[in-house]
C-alpha cells in the first residue's frame, strides 16, 4: 500500500534529507537577516553610541557621517546623527549621547532611569521610548527627564524645567505638548512625579521602594 506522499506522486524524504533541507533553510534565513551596525566613541569624555539596522554594507561611511554631526553633546547633535542614519537608509536607529540625550526610531527602546545624584547607584525605574527622543538634566535637588518628538525640543524643555519646582516643571511640559517626569527625594523616599498618562503610555516600571505620582 502506498503512503500519502507516494499517493501524491512524490517520494517521501528520508530523515537525513529533511534535516539537510531544514539546515539549508536556516542558513538562508540567517544570511538574509540584517546585521546591526554599531559604533561607540568617546566625545568630550562621554561615551557616545550609535546603532542602526538596514544600512548598506560597509557600514562605516554611514556611521562616520552620523558621528561627524556630534559636534557637542546636546539635543540638536542627537537629531543630526539620527537624520544621518535615516538618509543612509537605516530602518531602525539609536543615538545615545551618554544617556543625557537619546533618540530612537524603528523599534522601542527600554531606558533605565538612573539615580539623579549618582549613576553608579541602583536605578530608580525603566520605561519604553519609541519614535521619540529624551533629554535629562540633573540639578542638586532633582532630575528632569523630557520625552518629545525631537531631541532638540526635549533638550530645551529639560533645561527650562530643571530650574522650576516639580509642579511648574510638569505644567511646562504639558503646555508644550511634551511628557516626562521629575525625580526628587522626600526625606528618605524616592519619588518620581510624571505628566498625566506617562506611566501607562511609556510602561514606566519603578524599582522596589520608588513611589510614582500621579
Q: Provide the residue-wise pLDDT of the chain in tens; the chain has 214 residues.
A: 333 343 344 444 454 555 545 444 433 343 346 789 999 999 999 999 999 999 999 999 999 999 999 999 999 999 999 999 999 999 999 999 999 999 999 999 999 999 998 989 999 999 999 999 999 999 987 999 999 999 999 999 999 999 999 999 999 999 999 999 999 999 999 999 999 999 999 999 999 999 999 8
Q: What is the pTM of this model?
A: 0.83
**Tally of structural domains, the chain:** 2
Burial 146-168 (b: 16+ CB within 10 A, else e): bbbebbbbbbbbbebbbeeebee
**Burial letters 110-142, b for 16+ CB under 10 A, else e:** ebebbbbeeeeeeebbebebeebbbbbbbeeeb
Residue 143 near residue 116 (C-beta atoms within 8 A): yes
Residue 112: strand pairing partners = 126
Question: Where a domain ends, among 107, 122, 140?
Answer: 107
Q: Do residue 124 and residue 203 come from a single domain? A: yes
| Pair 94, 129 in one domain | no
Q: Strands 189-194 and 210-213, how do they pair? A: parallel
Q: How far apart are CA 86 and CA 54, in angstroms?
A: 10
Helical residues (DSSP H) of the chain, grouped into ranges: 4-7, 15-32, 60-68, 75-87, 151-161, 166-175, 198-201
Residue 19 maps to a domain: no
Q: Are residues 123 and 169 in the same domain?
A: yes
Q: Please report whether residue 22 resides in a domain.
A: no
**18: in domain:** no
| 66 within some domain | yes
- Cis previous bond, 195, omega within 30: no
Q: Are residues 188 and 116 in the same domain?
A: yes
Q: Per the omega criterion (within 30 degrees of 0), is the bond before 104 cis?
A: no
Is there a domain that residue 5 lies in?
A: no
Q: What residue numbers bound the domain in which 152 lies?
A: 108-214
User: Based on the number of CB atoms within 10 Å of its own CB, is 63 exposed (0-12), middle (13-18) or buried (19 or more)?
Assistant: buried
Amino acid at each position: 500500500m502506498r503512503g500519502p506522499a507516494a499517493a501524491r506522486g512524490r517520494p517521501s524524504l528520508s530523515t537525513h534529507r529533511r534535516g539537510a533541507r531544514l539546515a539549508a533553510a536556516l542558513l538562508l534565513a540567517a544570511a538574509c537577516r540584517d546585521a546591526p551596525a554599531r559604533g561607540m566613541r568617546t566625545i568630550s569624555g562621554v561615551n557616545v553610541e550609535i546603532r542602526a539596522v538596514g544600512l548598506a554594507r560597509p557600514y562605516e561611511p554611514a556611521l562616520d557621517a552620523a558621528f561627524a554631526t556630534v559636534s557637542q553633546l546636546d539635543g540638536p547633535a542627537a537629531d543630526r546623527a539620527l537624520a544621518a542614519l535615516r538618509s543612509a537608509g537605516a530602518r531602525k536607529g539609536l543615538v545615545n549621547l551618554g544617556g543625557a540625550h537619546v533618540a530612537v526610531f524603528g523599534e522601542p527602546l527600554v531606558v533605565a532611569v538612573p539615580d539623579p545624584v549618582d549613576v553608579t547607584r541602583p536605578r530608580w525605574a525603566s520605561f519604553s521610548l519609541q519614535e521619540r527622543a529624551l533629554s535629562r538634566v540633573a540639578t542638586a535637588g532633582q532630575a528632569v527627564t523630557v520625552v518629545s518628538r525631537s531631541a532638540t525640543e526635549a533638550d530645551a524643555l529639560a533645561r527650562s524645567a530643571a530650574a522650576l519646582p516639580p509642579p511648574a516643571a510638569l505644567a511646562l511640559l504639558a503646555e508644550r505638548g511634551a511628557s516626562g517626569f521629575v525625580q526628587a527625594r522626600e526625606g528618605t523616599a524616592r519619588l518620581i512625579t510624571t505628566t498625566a498618562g506617562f506611566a501607562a503610555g511609556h510602561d514606566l516600571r519603578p524599582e522596589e521602594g520608588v513611589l510614582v505620582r500621579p
